């Protein structure tokens, strides 16, 4: 089981830790050091050992970084975390709006006479360093590879995670790892490449049909791999994690200690494919002239789920939906001012764990009421735990890691009588969520081409939200999976079998937050009745089933097609989830899914 440590800096710890870091600059001949929220695998989530940004600054968001200079230390955060960062970091740190302010522009302003800024080459991708160096080319500012200075002052740094790997059964994977390796190896042969480097743990786990527990809430094993054009794999991961898996891996998967990785890379003859958007700089350095740039071979095949993975996700969502309904029924029974956010989290996780297929929750449950709901990635603590009050909303964002699928669902619930302003905003969010759920679009479009559909009802009222409309989701893997996204910047075409979230929101700082989220899977659209479509079209199959709070809906703000969709969806919720819940919850569900 994953063991957690106290690695987040309290505000009073920030100044001495920053002072200790700066004390190393002179000996290293540096004017600063970059601290990303990243590990050597560049995943969104990191182990306690790699939580350097949180240990130094106190900031716990899932994206961001710190640039510590001799006189100023900037914490770069995007729109999701501008409320959260204020309460987490000491005043020795300066929040910097990012990406509006790039690191290069900020460094130019802070180091007008140039300087040397250090970075750990394991913790920054090739593309990140290349872009930064290009934008700083005429500034006199030099980015310098060096040892990790945070590790040098973090004297009680946790040990690396050492959780055992396990086999992911074929009935859930839907394809043997031998077939996967052969299929991907053919793409290397066709491209004239000798091998490809894989640095993402979820890709390695998908490719080899294994799972692990090296990252909390994410069933992955840390490691690196080389996929060769003959379909064999050299796997660099702690061998003790693989006891009993030799027969599963077979003779074509060769296991090595992690410290052999760089030396092996230096011995490869090219061309060797490397995804420079995800691989650390030190890997490119080791490959040298053998490297060719290209997409990581597992990324797209992993994103396009097969029939077994889609059916597994569908079944996991039905069981997860039953837990959600039991939870919502329980919540409605509680009088306002009688329970806290922590009790809501505990109750939901208890209900989910009744399912024997649940391995873990898929991320830390978000239960934010009142002003806490406006913090997009809020995590309740002893200090922030808030009582649910009449007139407040609560944003409940949660999910489960089941053997057959990963779930992620958000519902916003009224506590007592909600204010009219909140009901209006909620109905706009719902209208956007429905519009995306109903969408048909031509094959070849990417998330950037369609995500505005989910924002339009809010835009018409002069409102918006500062997170993407949706992210990819793995198959009993990471709850946030690339390369597919519903975002303004995603140019990856959506393909059949991709699972994504659909989660518009609205956040009024100091007042309330709103988010509604279902998971959807891309499928080929059925022909239109009586139509003669001249292009192949895609649409969505909804996976998540739980009622949407009717008390927050203003029906006349929804057009007839949206009301029809909502009533049909609620009928499906009642039919699919009703037989799976207690008699009391079924009675509650009948009322909660009544037509509007």
- Asked if the structure places residue 2 within a domain, the reply is no
Q: How confident is the model at residue 95, as a pLDDT?
A: 85
Quote the pLDDT of residue 85: 79
Convert the pLDDT of each residue in 15-33 to its tens digit: 899 999 999 999 999 999 9
Residue 420 has pLDDT above 90, yes or no: yes
* CATH code, 560: 3.90.230.10
Beta bridge partners of 225: 198, 235
Q: Is residue 104 within 8 Å of 143, Cβ to Cβ? A: no
pLDDT of residue 42: 87
Cα within 13 Å of Cα(223), Cβ side? 33
Burial of 527 (0-12, 13-18, 19+ CB in 10 A): exposed
Closest CA to 396 of 382, 378, 374, 411: 411
Question: 228 and 308 share a domain?
Answer: no
Q: Between 487 and 15, whose confidence is greater?
A: 487
List pLDDT tens digits, range 211-228. 999 998 999 999 999 999
Residues 559 and 426 in one domain: yes
Of 269, 285, 302, the residue at which a domain comes to its end is: 302
Q: How many CB atoms lie within 10 A of CB 281?
A: 22
In a domain, 5, yes or no: no
pLDDT of residue 2: 38
Say whether both 117 and 222 belong to one domain: no
CATH code, domain carrying 87? 3.40.350.10
Structure-block tokens of residue 464? 């918006």
The per-residue pLDDT for range 337-350, each reduced to its tens digit, is 999 999 999 999 99
Cα separation of 135 and 112, whole Å?
14
Same domain, 191 and 248: yes
Q: Is 72 exposed, middle or buried (0-12, 13-18, 19+ CB in 10 A)?
A: middle
The answer to whether residues 298 and 316 belong to one domain is no
What interhelical angle do 307-333 and 560-577 show, nearest 10? 90
Domain shared by 290 and 313, yes or no: no
Mean pLDDT of the chain: 94
Query: Comparing C-alpha atoms, which of 381, 434, 422 is closest to residue 540?
Result: 434
Which is higher by pLDDT, 8 or 103? Answer: 103
Q: Is the dihedral of CA 366, 367, 370, 371 positive or negative?
A: negative
pLDDT above 50 (res 1): no
Q: Is residue 158 part of a domain?
A: no
pLDDT at residue 531 in the model: 64
Q: What whole-number distance in Å separates Cα of residue 46 and Cα of residue 50?
A: 6
Mean of the pLDDT values across residues 482-507? 97
Q: Which residue has the tokens 């910047």?
A: 489
3-state secondary structure 402-438: ECCEECCEEEEEECCCCCHHHHHHHHHHHHHHHHHHC
Task: Judge whether 86 and 94 are in contact, CB under 8 Å.
Answer: no
At 63 the pLDDT is 82
Which has more pLDDT, 502 or 10? 502
Residue 212, pLDDT score: 97
Provide mean pLDDT across the span 129-144: 94
Residue 287 DSSP symbol = H
Residues 407 and 271 in one domain: no
pLDDT number for residue 64 = 87
The answer to whether 157 and 56 are in contact (CB under 8 A) is no
Lowest mean pLDDT among 34-43, 295-304, 341-350: 34-43
Q: With contact defined as beta carbons under 8 Å apart, do 297 and 229 qualify?
A: no
Arithmetic mean of pLDDT, 127-155: 95
pLDDT in tens, 402-419: 999 999 999 999 999 999
pLDDT at site 43: 79
- Rounded to an integer, the average pLDDT of 580-596 is 98
Average pLDDT, integer, range 342-366: 96
pLDDT-derived band at 194 (thresholds 50, 70, 90) equals: very high
Question: How high is the pLDDT of residue 341?
Answer: 98
Q: Mean per-residue pLDDT for 247-257?
A: 98
pLDDT in tens, 61-82: 778 899 999 999 998 988 777 7
Q: 3-state DSSP call for residue 449?
A: helix
- The Cα 140–Cα 596 span in angstroms is 64
pTM, rounded to two decimals: 0.93
Q: What pLDDT score was predicted for residue 3?
A: 41
pLDDT grade for 6, boundaries at 50, 70 and 90:
low
Angle at 410 between CA 361 and CA 505, to 5 degrees: 135
pLDDT in tens, 435-460: 999 999 999 999 999 999 999 999 99
Question: Does one domain contain both 285 and 365?
Answer: no
Round to the nearest angstrom and report the end-to-end CA distance of the chain: 46
Q: Is the pLDDT of residue 10 over 90?
A: no
**Predicted local confidence at residue 86, as pLDDT:** 73
Q: Mark whether 261 and 378 lie in a shared domain.
A: no
Confidence of residue 4 (pLDDT cuts 50, 70, 90): very low
- Please report where in the chains the tokens 């770069």 appear, as a residue: 76
**Looking at the 3D structure of the chain, how many domains does it have?**
3
Q: Confidence class of residue 534 from pLDDT cuts 50, 70 and 90?
A: confident
Q: What is the secondary structure of 565-592 as a DSSP string?
A: HHHHHHHHHHHHHGGGS-HHHHHHHHHH
Q: Are 264 and 244 in contact (CB under 8 A)?
A: no
DSSP state of 332: H
Q: Are 291 and 378 in contact (CB under 8 A)?
A: no
pLDDT at position 270 is 85
Angle between helix 341-352 and 307-333 (nearest 10): 140
Q: What is the mean predicted confidence (pLDDT) over 253-274?
A: 96
pLDDT of residue 285 exceeding 60, the answer is yes
117 within some domain: yes
For residues 359 and 486, state if they share a domain.
Answer: yes
- Residue 108 included in any domain: yes
pLDDT for 533 equals: 66
- In this predicted structure, what is the pLDDT of residue 274? 98
**Single residue among 302, 336, 357 that ends a domain in this structure:** 302
Q: Which domain holds residue 146?
A: 11-153
Same domain for 369 and 287?
Answer: no
Which of the pair, 525 or 10, is modelled with greater confidence? Answer: 525
d(CA 524, CA 442): 10
Question: pLDDT above 70 covers what percent of the chain?
Answer: 98
Co-location of 297 and 319 in the same domain: no
Q: What angle do CA 397, 399, 402 make, to 5 degrees?
A: 175
Of 46, 409, 446, nearest in space to 218 by CA:
46
Give backbone dihedrals phi and psi of 82, rounded to 5 degrees, phi first: -75, -20
């Amino acid at each position: 089981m994953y063991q957690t440590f106290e690695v987040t800096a309290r505000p009073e710890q920030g100044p001495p830790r920053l002072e200790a870091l700066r004390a190393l600059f002179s000996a290293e001949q540096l004017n600063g050091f970059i601290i990303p929220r990243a590990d050597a695998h560049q995943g969104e989530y990191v182990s306690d050992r790699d939580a350097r940004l949180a240990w130094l600054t106190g900031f716990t968001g899932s994206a961001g970084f710190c640039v510590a200079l001799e006189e100023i230390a900037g914490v770069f955060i995007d729109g999701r975390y501008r409320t959260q960062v204020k309460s987490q970091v000491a005043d020795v740190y300066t929040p910097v709006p990012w990406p509006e302010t790039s690191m290069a522009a900020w460094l130019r302003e802070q180091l007008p006479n140039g300087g040397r800024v250090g970075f750990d080459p394991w913790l920054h991708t090739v593309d990140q360093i290349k872009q930064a160096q290009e934008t700083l080319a005429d500034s006199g500012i030099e980015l310098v590879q060096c040892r990790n200075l945070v590790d040098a002052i973090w004297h009680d740094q946790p040990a690396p995670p050492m959780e055992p790997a396990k086999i992911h059964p074929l009935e859930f994977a839907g394809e043997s790892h031998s077939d996967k390796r052969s299929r991907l190896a053919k793409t290397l042969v066709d491209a004239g490449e000798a091998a490809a480097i894989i640095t993402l743990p979820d890709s390695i786990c998908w490719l080899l049909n294994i799972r692990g527990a090296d990252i909390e809430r994410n069933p992955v094993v840390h490691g690196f791999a080389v996929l060769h054009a003959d379909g064999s794999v050299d796997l660099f991961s702690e061998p003790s994690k693989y006891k009993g898996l030799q027969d599963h891996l077979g003779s074509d998967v060769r296991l090595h200690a992690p410290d052999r990785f760089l030396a092996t890379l230096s011995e490869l003859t090219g061309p060797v494919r490397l995804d420079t958007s995800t691989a650390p700089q030190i890997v490119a350095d080791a490959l040298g002239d053998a490297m060719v740039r290209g997409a990581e071979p597992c990324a797209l095949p992993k994103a396009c789920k097969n029939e077994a993975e889609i059916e597994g996700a569908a079944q996991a969502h039905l069981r997860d939906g039953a837990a959600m309904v039991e939870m919502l029924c329980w919540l409605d029974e509680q009088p306002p001012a009688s329970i806290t956010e922590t009790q809501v989290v505990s109750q939901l996780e208890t209900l989910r764990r009744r399912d024997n297929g649940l391995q873990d929750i898929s991320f830390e449950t978000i239960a934010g009421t009142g002003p806490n709901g406006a913090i997009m990635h809020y995590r309740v603590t002893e200090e922030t735990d808030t009582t649910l009050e009449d007139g407040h909303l609560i944003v409940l964002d949660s999910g489960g890691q089941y053997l057959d699928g990963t779930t992620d669902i958000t519902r916003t619930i009224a506590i007592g009588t909600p204010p009219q302003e909140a009901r209006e905003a909620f109905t706009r969010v719902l209208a956007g969520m429905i519009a995306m759920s109903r969408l048909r679009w031509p094959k070849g479009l990417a998330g950037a081409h369609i995500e505005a559909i989910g924002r339009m009802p809010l835009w018409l009222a002069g409102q918006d939200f500062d997170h993407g409309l949706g992210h990819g989701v793995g198959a009993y893997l990471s709850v946030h999976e690339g390369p597919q996204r519903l975002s303004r910047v995603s140019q990856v075409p959506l393909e059949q079998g991709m699972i994504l979230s659909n989660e518009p929101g609205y956040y009024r700082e100091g007042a309330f937050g709103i988010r509604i989220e279902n998971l959807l899977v891309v499928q080929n659209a059925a022909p239109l009745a009586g139509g003669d479509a001249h292009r192949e079209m895609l649409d969505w199959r909804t996976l998540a089933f739980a009622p949407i709070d009717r008390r927050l809906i203003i029906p006349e703000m929804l057009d007839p097609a949206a009301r029809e969709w909502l009533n049909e969806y609620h009928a499906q919720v009642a039919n699919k989830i009703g037989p799976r819940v207690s008699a009391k919850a079924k009675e509650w569900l009948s009322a909660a899914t009544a037509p509007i």
